[in-house]
Structure 1
Amino acid sequence: MWIQNVGWKLPPNFGRDQGTGLFQFTSYAVEHPVVPPFSWLVQNVVLPNFTLFGYATLLVEFSLGAFLLAGLLTRFWAAIGIIQTLAITMSVLNAPNEWHWSYYLMLAVHAVLIATAAGRSAGLDGLLRPRWRTSSTRLAMLALRAS
């Protein structure tokens, strides 16, 4: 789902010129506020720096899809997925024609990925954890916790 949704977040302007795409959905946080401090943040920080925000969103969502699909550092990326889902939810929950249940489902799926450490049985985490466990490097210890 994350990788598929990257397809409509098109650089270099991410829909800013036409008022569509990522720009439109981000603007919903101001037009249809869910949490007023979040709306203030979007209006005063995100929208003035929208190109940087667009590239960051593109990178995070593509990484989410790629790492979760590969089952690499699954728990870490599932936690990032929860944070990203909450940010999306705060932007569009009050917007017209939104499927509210889809955001709750996204949160639930990421919570299950954290709870079950899915990458350990069907992903690269399962292949790499034995090596990380025997290594004493700081990076291996972080990867072990993030898997």
Structure 2
Amino acid sequence: MAAARINTNVQIPEPNITKFLFADARLSPIWLVLRIYLGWQWLEAGWGKLNNPAWVGDKAGVAVGGFLERALGKTTGDHPDVTGWYAWFIQNVALPNKVLFSYLVTFGEILVGIALIVGLFAGFAAFFAGLMNAAFLLAGTVSSNPWMFIVATWLVLAWRTAGYLGLDYYLLPRLGVIFRRKAEATS
């Protein structure tokens, strides 16, 4: 049986609804509100860690180590909250490097928060926000992570307009992302 060939010259057009939701600058005020709110949540969380010696300073690693140890405690029972492969990652990668992870979490939260608030590479920042939320969820911590993950995912999808009312308005065109008026886009 011959292998099926994939025509790589085909482009599948974006549906009008997704163009409107994720690429229309008229919705950028909605993305601005969501972006700033999510960014503030991350900045506030990171700032709290920055001012806590158990996260950054002479006791760095203590807090994240405790968090990771508690996550390992959620790997047992009929329905464990933490899967085996993630428990392996925690045990063999994160815990032995808990001081590094303490700094990564703290400064990652601060940088993502600032980038989202000012609209600097908003889609990229939202991706890393969602990645952190996923890591916390995989470690068995629900809290606000599900809704923050959802908002981050929406912002990734709306990367073209999520930072339109922010620094992305000035930076994305310099990187080759061209903003066109609607009439130009349809012709």
* Superposition TM-score, scaled by structure 1 size: 0.74
Which residue is 1:83 aligned to?
Answer: 131
Q: State whether residues 14 and 23 of structure 1, in contact with CA within 8 Å, keep that contact through their aligned partners in structure 2.
A: no
Report if aligned partners of 2:49, 2:56 keep a CA contact under 8 Å in 1.
Answer: no
Paired AA for residue 119 in structure 1: G
The answer to whether 1:24 aligns with 2:69 is: no
* Count of residues in Structure 1 that have an aligned counterpart in Structure 2: 123
Task: Identify the structure with the greater helix proportion.
Answer: 1
Does 1:125 pair with 2:168?
yes
Note the residue ranges of structure 2 that are not aligned, 5 or more in a row.
Answer: 1-40, 76-81, 178-187
Q: Does 1:104 align with 2:152?
A: no
Q: Distance in 1 between matches of 2:123 and 2:110?
A: 16
Cα deviation for residue 15 of structure 1 reads 5.8
In structure 2, the residue matched to 1:8 is 49
How do 1:34-113 and structure 2 match up within 5 A? 34-93=82-141, 99=143, 102-113=144-155
- Decide which moves more: 66-75 or 125-134: 125-134
Structure 2 counterpart SS, 1:133? coil
* Inter-partner Cα distance in structure 2 for 1:45 and 1:104: 24
The Cα of 1:2 is off from its aligned counterpart by: 0.8
Cα deviation for residue 72 of structure 1 reads: 0.5
Question: Scaled by the length of structure 2, what TM-score is found?
Answer: 0.59
Runs of 4+ off more than 4 Å: none
Higher relative contact order (CA 8 A, sep 6+): 2
RMSD over equivalenced CA pairs, Å: 1.9
Gaps of 5+ in 1: 135-147
Seen in structure 2, the aligned counterparts of structure 1 residues 128 and 88 have a Cα distance that, compared at 3 Å, is same
Q: Distance in 2 between matches of 1:22 and 1:48?
A: 11
State the shift of 1:48 in Å: 1.4
Identical amino acids, percent of aligned pairs: 29
